[in-house]
Amino acid sequence: MTKLIIVLVVLQLVMFGGFGAFLHFSGALGGGTAHAESGAADKGHPEEEEQEKAPPIYIGLEPAFVVNSADQSGASRFMQVTIQVMTRDPEIEEAVNTHMPVIRNSIVLLLSSQSVESVSGVEGKEKLRAEVLDRIRAILEERTGKPGVEEVYFTSFVIQ
Q: H-helix or E-strand containing 57?
A: strand 57-70
What is the rounded end-to-end Cα distance, in angstroms, of the chain? 89
Please state, in angstroms and rounded to a whole number, the distance separating the CA atoms of residues 116 and 70.
6
Q: How confident is the model at residue 17 (pLDDT cuts 50, 70, 90)?
A: confident
- Whether residue 49 lies inside any domain: the answer is no
Residues 54, 89: contact at Cβ < 8 Å?
Answer: yes
Q: What is the CATH number of the domain that holds 100?
A: 3.30.479.30
**Model confidence over 136-152: pLDDT tens digits?**
999 999 999 999 999 99
Amino acid 13: pLDDT? 81
- Whether residue 19 lies inside any domain: the answer is yes
Arithmetic mean of pLDDT, 38-59: 63
Residue 139 CA, chain-centre distance (Å), reads 19
For residue 33, what are the domain limits? 2-44
Residues 151, 86: contact at Cβ < 8 Å?
Answer: yes
- Number of domains making up the chain: 2
Does a cis peptide bond (omega within 30 degrees of 0) precede residue 63? yes
**Model confidence over 52-97: pLDDT tens digits?**
578 999 999 999 999 998 777 777 889 999 999 999 999 999 999 9
Question: Are 21 and 77 members of one domain?
Answer: no
**Model confidence over 104-127: pLDDT tens digits?**
999 999 999 998 888 989 999 999
Question: Are 29 and 77 members of one domain?
Answer: no
Q: Calculate Rg over the CA atoms of the chain.
A: 28
